[in-house]
Chains A and B, each alone.
Chain A
Amino acid sequence: MATTRRRTKAQEAQSNRPSADELLGYYRDMLLIRRFEEKAGQLYGMGLIGGFCHLYIGQEAVVVGIQAALEQGDTIITSYRDHGHMLAAGMDAKGVMAELTGRRGGYSKGKGGSMHMFSREKNFYGGHGIVGAQVPLGTGLAFAHKYRGDRKVNACYLGDGAVNQGQVYESFNMAALWKLPVIYVIENNRYAMGTSQARASAGELYQRGSAYGIPGRVVDGMNVVSVREAAEEAVAHVRGGNGPMILEMKTYRYRGHSMSDPAKYRSKEEVNKMRSEMDPIDNLKRILVEQGVIDEERLKTIDREVKEIVTEAAEFATQNPEPDPSELWTDVLIEA
């Protein structure tokens, strides 16, 4: 069964081309994620962030493009590589950074850390550290959307390594069987820790739902416009009550898996080639400049705005107090 959805030329022409303003917005959002992550890396190096810290640098186009196709009320869930998802969902950079430094002003009061944040307001359902565990949860979020009949969808992100968890397939079957409104976004950044896709996964990832009749599509995850187009089509399909869809985003993580990973399993040339030829931010910037959408002045303004947000976040995250010791015992259960 062929499950790749190839769009016809006619469909292509019909699809909403992003406006100049939208493109500028994507540029800014991607840049914010990039600069935020760079700052997080610095703070980690200074010992102000401990434990895990998985940077999203290189993959920015994925969350920004998906987010562009979602509407108010749609839900999002992902793994531990979650900073970009939260910023794209509109969560406050200060609260995210302060969670990284384990402070009381962080989204989880300093209890969750880099991998575990949540925002009901932004419909961001976490930040999960057990690889693949967010997939049944996203399926459940979609179940709730369907049950309530709210016509909302869930965007459920998982990695190219997470696709080898059994619970992913239990979820795929249920989602297809019950026609749940969920888009499984496989962020194929080519590595799961030190293991390349080829060394861990048999077959094509976008086809992993084939046996359940889940349509899958490969997308250039380094290009925010391609991501948005694919996401719009998937959202329309899923919101229309046709059941789940899989989008395999071909992307790349520039940094190590986490801060402790020297990334010896791939060559510097490979990383440099991706950075110089495929970078989602540089490439969009080039297009914006070429098309005359943006000039140097405007670029500088955006740079400055983003830098201010990140600086402010870092200041907050380093000056905000540690959690009160009594917080150790709160939030385990509600008194009853």
Chain B
Amino acid sequence: MTGMSETTYRDALRQALDDAMGADSTIVVLGEEVGRYGGAYGVTKGLIERHGADRVIDAPISEAAIVGAAVGAAMTGLRPVAELMYVDFLGLAMDQLANQAAKIRYMFGGQVGVPMVLRTQGGTGRSAGAQHSQSLEAWSVHTPGLRVAMPATVSDAYHLLRHALTLPDPVVFIEHKALYTRKGGLDPAAPDAPWGRAVVRRPGRNVTLVAYSRMVHSALEAAAALAEAGIEAEVIDLRTLNPLDMETVAASVTRTGRAVVVSEACLTGGVAAEIAARIQEDCFDWLEEPVIRVAGEDVPIPVSPGLEAASIPGAPLIADAVRMMLP
């Protein structure tokens, strides 16, 4: 299949798995409801029919063993895609991810790697409550030995997943539950950028908005609103958090002199803090204003829709932060 076509984030992910499985027989998909049910969010629908129950495996509700078995199989050169239905369930699988998957290459002196992908989804937007709505990317980013990808667009959903399925090391691939139905263009032959590079989604000269995952869209919305007031915001989509492309960020901030880092995850100790710190370190002499983080409230996610929406940043809050920075 070539050329650009319109599809959804969900379908792009499925196509990535489908194409990758067609090309590489070492790929197996393992998780709860991934087979016959087609995935809790429908991402793996049809894969079991196309690739068989030996490769698309319905697992019991045993996250620690699902991820651990994926790590073990990956050590032999298989390329498992383990699915956690919600990133919140990382708590159960975190030991296998952080103490096994992430450590194995290093502590065995580089003799063996863990070429697996942990697919999961996070974020708010569906009144799913405190135990099914978190943004926990910081846990993985804080663990050396893991790659972390968080696609915001349909094209990246496909291309980042395809690339993750070629890497020699474990990749935590975090989708956003509110993006599955999002539509966009996809050319399977043409990624937006190479793996590990951030992409400027909207150019601007007054301020740099650094975002990833769903917040890219909120940042773009804010930028559109600001443009009406004559403020030109540049929006950067990080795409991957490991690697973290500070070069693209610095190239922008040294031009604009102002940076706002946007993240849905709660503020304290989050990825946004890491990025803000690096901007201060890399671009201190160019900064007109302190770097600002616009992030989730430091609270568990509430169910009531009004409270839930208020617990994370939206475009108006991002735009306000920008206005505060400008003279």
Chain A interface residues (CB < 8 Å from chain B) = 50-52, 102-103, 110-116, 128-132, 161-162, 164-167, 192-195, 199-201, 265, 322-323, 325, 327-329, 332
Contacts and interface: CB of A to CB of B under 8 A. Distances in A.
A161 B32 CA distance: 10
B307 A194 contact: no
Interface residues of B, number: 35
Contacts of A130: 88-89, 91-92, 131
B92 A195 contact: no
A166 B64 contact: yes
B259 to A, nearest CB: 27
Interface string B102-135: 0000000000000000000000001111111000
B40 A323 contact: no
A162 B61 contact: yes
B65 interface: yes
B61 A110 contact: no
A161 B37 contact: no
Q: Label chain B's interface by main secondary structure.
A: loop
| List of 5 A-B pairs having minimum Cβ-Cβ separation, nearest first | A51-B127, A113-B303, A102-B304, A194-B37, A164-B60
Interface string B129-144: 1111000000000000
Interface stretch (B195-203, B218-226, B294-302): B294-302
Given A130-B88, A201-B60, A102 B127 contact: yes
A325 B306 contact: yes
Given A111-B130, A128-B131, A322-B306, 12 more contacts: A113-B303, A113-B304, A114-B129, A129-B130, A129-B132, A130-B131, A164-B60, A166-B92, A194-B33, A323-B302, A325-B310, A328-B310
B64 A129 contact: no
B129 A113 contact: yes
Contacts of A199: 58
A110 B303 contact: yes
A203 to B, nearest CB: 12
Q: Label chain A's interface by main secondary structure.
A: loop
A9 to B, nearest CB: 38
A51 B92 contact: no
Given A115-B129, A200-B60, A265 B302 contact: no
B36 to A, nearest CB: 6
Report which residue of A131, A167, A265 has the largest number of chain B beta carbons within 10 angstroms of its beta carbon.
Answer: A131
11 contacts: A50-B126, A111-B303, A113-B129, A130-B89, A165-B62, A165-B63, A192-B61, A199-B58, A322-B307, A323-B304, A323-B306
B298 to A, nearest CB: 7
A329 B37 contact: no
A165 B305 contact: no
Contact of A328 (B58, B128, B311): B311
B297 A328 contact: yes
A52 B303 CA distance: 10
A129 B37 contact: no
A312 B126 CA distance: 27
Contact of A332 (B32, B61, B298): B298
Nearest to B64: A166
Interface in B52-73: 58, 60-65
B127 A164 contact: no
Contacts of A131: 61
A277 B202 CA distance: 63
A112 B303 contact: yes
A192 B65 CA distance: 17
A332 B307 CA distance: 14
Given A52-B129, A112-B130, A116-B129, A193 B32 contact: yes
A195 B129 contact: no
Contacts of A195: 32-33, 36-37, 58, 60
B127 A113 contact: yes
Interface in B251-305: 297-300, 302-305
Contacts of A116: 129-131, 303
A325 B91 CA distance: 29
A111 B131 contact: no
A16 to B, nearest CB: 37
B3 to A, nearest CB: 34
A131 B91 CA distance: 12
